[in-house]
């Protein structure tokens, strides 16, 4: 089975491909000749995932899936949420985003947060969504060299290391994206 993963983020492609069984092959946007920015203008994480998947199906004709992920911090009323990638501006710089979040949290006692991923799949003309959530805490300084995005300041429940300090395999077992992808894989395995 071949599916397009509607993302230009090669870190996401690597994470998801490492989780998928060998009979599922991911095609990237580059593989299908899509070099445009796929719109994500919806007010929710789920809405953005659906919008991206529908765009690829409509304009390129492929069965596909798309994800959108946000970090939601309790004491900031769910910020950065749907704006996680561009929290500090349209330049989408991870360090800028983390610095802004750490600044906004500096006087907050409650540093609890969760990552939320929604995957929207369009397969055989039908749409399905899969959600994964990973609870955790935002620490006060960046730690670690692995991962991407907010990984250096996020510690998942049950861990003492940040997502940037653990292996990709460990992260995939507990992460928001890992949980959503496992639901996707389970669904796809019932289609064979």
Active-site annotation holds for 68 = yes
Around Cβ 87, how many Cβ atoms within 10 Å? 22
Cα distance between residue 67 and residue 184, in whole Å = 11
Active-site residue identified among 68, 96, 107, 110:
68
Q: At what angle do helices 10-19 and 176-189 cross, to 10 degrees?
A: 50
Cα distance between residue 127 and residue 36, in whole Å = 23
Q: Are 71 and 115 in contact (CB under 8 A)?
A: yes
Cα distance between residue 81 and residue 179, in whole Å = 18
Cα atoms in the 13 Å half-sphere on the side-chain side of 96 = 10
Catalytic residue numbers, as ranges = 68
């Amino acid at each position: 089975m071949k599916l397009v993963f509607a993302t230009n983020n090669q870190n996401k492609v690597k994470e998801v491909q490492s989780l998928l069984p060998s009979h599922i092959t991911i095609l990237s946007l580059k593989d299908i000749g899509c070099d445009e920015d796929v719109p994500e203008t919806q007010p929710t994480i789920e809405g953005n995932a659906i919008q991206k998947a529908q765009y690829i199906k409509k304009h390129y004709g492929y069965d596909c899936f798309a994800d959108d992920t946000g970090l939601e911090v309790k004491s900031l009323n769910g910020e950065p949420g749907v704006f996680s990638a561009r929290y500090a501006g349209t330049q989408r710089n991870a360090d800028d985003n983390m610095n802004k979040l750490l600044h906004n949290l500096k006087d907050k006692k409650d540093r609890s947060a969760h990552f939320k991923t929604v995957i929207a799949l369009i397969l055989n003309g039908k749409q399905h969504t899969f959600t994964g959530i990973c609870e955790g805490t935002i620490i006060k300084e960046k730690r670690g060299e692995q991962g991407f995005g907010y990984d250096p300041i996020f510690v998942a429940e049950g861990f003492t290391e940040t997502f940037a300090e653990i292996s990709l395999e460990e992260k995939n077992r507990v992460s928001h994206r890992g949980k959503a992808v496992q639901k996707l894989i389970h669904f796809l395995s019932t289609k064979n």
